[in-house]
Chain A
Amino acid sequence: MNLQQNAQRSEELESVVVRFAGDSGDGMQLTGGQFTLASALAGNDVATFPDYPAEIRAPAGTLAGVSGYQLHFSSGEIFTPGDDVDVLVAMNPAALAKNLPFLRENGMLIVNSDAFTAKLLKMAGFETNPLDEDDTQLEKYQVYPVDLTRLTRDALVETDLTSKEVERCKNFFALGLMSWLYERDLQILVEEVETQFGSKPRYLNANLIVLRSGYNYGENSAQFMVRYRVPAAKSGVPGTYRNVQGNEAVSLGLIAAAHRAGKELFLGSYPITPASDILHFLSKQKALGVLTFQAEDEIAAVCATIAAAWGNQLAVTTTSGPGMALKGEAMGLAVMTELPMIVVNVQRGGPSTGLPTKTEQSDLLQAMYGRNGESPMVVIAARSPGDAFYTAYEAARVALKYMVPVVLLSDGYIANGAEPWRVPDLEDLPEIPYVELDSAEGLPDGFQPYARDPETLARPWPKLGTPGLEHRLGGIEKWDVTGHISYDPDNHHHMTLQRQARVDGIAKELPATEIFGDDSGDVLVVSWGSTYGSCLTAVRLLRNEGRSVSHVHLRWINPLPRDLGDIFSRFNTVVVPEINNGQLFSILRGKFDFNGRRFNRVGGIPLQIEDLTEVIIDSLSS
């Protein structure tokens, strides 16, 4: 494109944080998602943070109804959606009021000035109009009022859309304008709109007109004198990349695992925020051997899943915290019957209903201990949207290899966040070994359902329907090997240890723990789950300043890596930041002796890098 046609300059930036904010019905998630894709396709590293209310459509113009989408795009490697926002796009006064605290000083503020009516200003709690010339409320920012509603209406004057329908198109004006401002490829967005609205030509046409109008507005109005360019990221493993969301990545990981294991994939699930998208995604994959069952409740979902595991499928149930609480008893049955099942918990704010659309790491202890009896389960946690693919794959591999139920922990931030992801080749993924018996031949003592592999302690997985392999499972304690009911004290003690040993034994195959930074020093930051990005970024910043701080991230919580205690002993202080009240910290405390410090902030949002650097600096001995 020709940048010489007007007086506008182009300026290069390393990274930018943009936040789109509007009413729940304003299409902010869609707009943000499409801008993210255009940025990823331009070669930027991206990290996103959708921030939306639990109410589907809170009354328009209210603070409760504000939906936001934050995107960080960069020419360098990034791991978080960013603490401070560089550019805020606010579609109405409520969106402005709610998101202004995130905007950095001198940040760019693009507002839909048409929405700043007396009524909407009052609903948002503004006593005066911050866009008025003599008003000082926004003096710390670069304010760009744009008549988004009017401009959208003007662009669509030739169409027969109703005024309500016209109103709904204005997010595309904002998207077009932002695309111009950050030199995004308009053609990519055009194709995206075509895919999204292909089946609704009426809206497709209108949205395309408005998208182009927004772009041209940037080009032709004298309001914006500078365009910004964030060059493509330089590094990166060669390969084919895509943009992936966490829930999607979990689904893909499970499908890949089922395919590699030569199994049908069974999903038993009950709709719950923020896990439902996994159910939606998988229910579309019937052609790839995926069977989905939307059960009558969380309990039925897990029970059906256990039965599917018994019926020789790769069996998964997906939920969030309150749902996992309901599944607890059945999860214990899976432990007792030693069946391979995966429970995906996409954590949200708790307790109780808590904050359904927000993120939290507060189900770790529930995953570890939230069942009656001594009921150990494998616990693995995803650290980012792309990583969710590999953790899901690992969850499946370990479940089948060891005949154990596995909890996979994700969270709302991973589930809805997106990042670039290198698409793996199926053949490059690890093999999934398991012992499935499909014949009673060669079994000298007949079939023994709890006869174990001496290495993995896994019991065999008999193929249902095979003559000679008939057996009875159940929640009552069983004799080891024979699987008959047993109330024998010594046997119960033995089986209790056996169930624990099978989980603990997995640690033997875990790779050596990777340490970012020096392998000994002053402070070691230990993270798990979605705080990975914030912790790594904070440690990087401080290491660049020459501080003695290293970082370890845990994918496996149960079992923990075997070298962890040794690593801890090489640092003066171990800092454990979590979006809970110290759950991993208490697990680590129970296993290792170390000088520790926890950092906990349970706000339903990712940890801020600034808070982390502060606590790390404060923990340094010098």
Chain B
Amino acid sequence: MTTQPPRKYKAKEYATDQDVRWCPGCGDYAILAGVQRSLAKQGVPPEKVAFISGIGCSSRFPYYMATYGFHTIHGRAPAFATGLKIARPDMNVWVITGDGDSLSIGGNHFIHLLRRNVDLNILLFNNRIYGLTKGQYSPTSEVGKKTKSSPMGSIDHPFKPLQLAIGADAGFLARTIDVDAKVMAEVTAAASAYRGTAFVEVLQNCNIFNDGAWENIAAKQVRAEMTVRLAHGEPMIFGKAKDKGVRLDGLKPVAFTIGEDGLSTSDAWVHDAHDPDLTRSMLLARMEGPDLPTPVGVLRSVDRPVFDVEVRKQANAAGSGTATDVHDLLKGRRTWTVS
């Protein structure tokens, strides 16, 4: 959707003069900076961008972006974004949401947005907790999680957001970690380039109500061992020393050490982000520790018909009426005259 920029942009041109009011140390700061850098790098003019959010900590995001922005109501950002893209396909639209916003109260709109494949990007800040309401378990909280509203531990089975998105036939799936600027830049750029709904799960820390939400995979000392960077056409190799890989045993991903049991790099599963079949996307979406690394990067990028493009195609095919046509419509099929 983006046109060639007449000039280069700096990240700070996307920042408003409003004080950012997230808690000190919140993972959202890093995401905000990452998105601003990414837009500058892509050279999208700020006036062509609209950030739309629901309710929650993450949803304050639009106030800090010097673009068009709409802080809407809880869970409904995808519906607003869909309406805007139908009305104004020329706008570059981003939905900013959280695990509570998009997977609980807004679950319906989330799946329908993905199903329709509206041309926009969703960043889902997944911190596995309700932050703005001060700490209740969310639909991504792990079973057994003790919170203010689950003193004996949560008994809700959690969603895996990417798995849910696959159920809605999502064309683009990616995952990143709030503190990983490099992957953040890579997936936001890929999301922007994708025509259709690009869904990015951001593993985000809430240092107040759920500190260490993703510590077991995001902490610097374990990240290389507990995550695998996906790259299309590349084998899935991970570990600080690049000494481990993921291979497929039938349809079962298995981690292995290169050089052990006669296994080498060539045994590793080669990532195909453009595979139209959803089976392997699902395997990736479900992959997690302790036995497997959590995939980060672009899991899936497959073209599908784009909703807002199809809307305009139908409108164009219908032609463009004139005042005479409006008048004819008012008259209907049958008239009579009173003189």
Binding site for B on A (CB under 8 A): 37, 40-41, 43, 188, 195, 236-244, 248, 252, 255-256, 259, 264, 266, 268, 285-289, 291, 293, 295-297, 299-301, 303-308, 310-313, 315, 329-330, 333, 337, 422-426, 464-476, 484-485
Contact = CB atoms under 8 A, between A and B. Distances in A.
A307 B84 CA distance: 5
A350 B338 CA distance: 41
B124 interface: no
16 contacts: A240-B337, A242-B332, A287-B318, A287-B320, A291-B86, A297-B108, A303-B73, A303-B76, A303-B109, A304-B79, A310-B84, A311-B87, A467-B46, A470-B69, A472-B69, A485-B63
Given A300-B76, A306-B83, A307-B87, A291 B311 contact: yes
A288 B321 contact: yes
B89 to A, nearest CB: 10
Given A303-B76, A470-B47, A293 B86 contact: yes
Given A296-B112, A469-B47, A303 B80 contact: yes
A287 to B, nearest CB: 4
A293 B66 CA distance: 29
* Chain A contact residues, majority secondary structure: mixed
B47 A465 contact: yes
Contacts, number: 199
B315 interface: yes
Contact of A303 (B46, B79, B339): B79
Contact of B329 (A255, A304, A305, A476): A255
Given A244-B332, A333-B72, A289 B321 contact: yes
B242 interface: no
Given A41-B334, A291-B311, A464-B88, 19 more contacts: A40-B336, A242-B332, A255-B329, A259-B323, A288-B325, A291-B86, A291-B87, A291-B315, A304-B80, A308-B84, A310-B70, A310-B84, A315-B83, A426-B327, A464-B68, A470-B66, A470-B68, A472-B69, A475-B71
B91 interface: yes
B83 A293 contact: yes
B338 A473 contact: no
B314 interface: yes
B182 to A, nearest CB: 29
Contacts of A468: 47
A305 B83 contact: yes
Interface residues of B, number: 59
A466 to B, nearest CB: 6
B161 interface: no
A238 B334 CA distance: 16
Nearest to B88: A311
B62 interface: yes
Contacts of B332: 242-244, 248, 423
Contact of B326 (A239, A288, A295, A476): A288
Given A240-B337, A296-B108, A307-B70, A252 B87 contact: no
A287 B316 CA distance: 8
Given A242-B335, A287-B320, A287-B325, A311 B330 contact: no
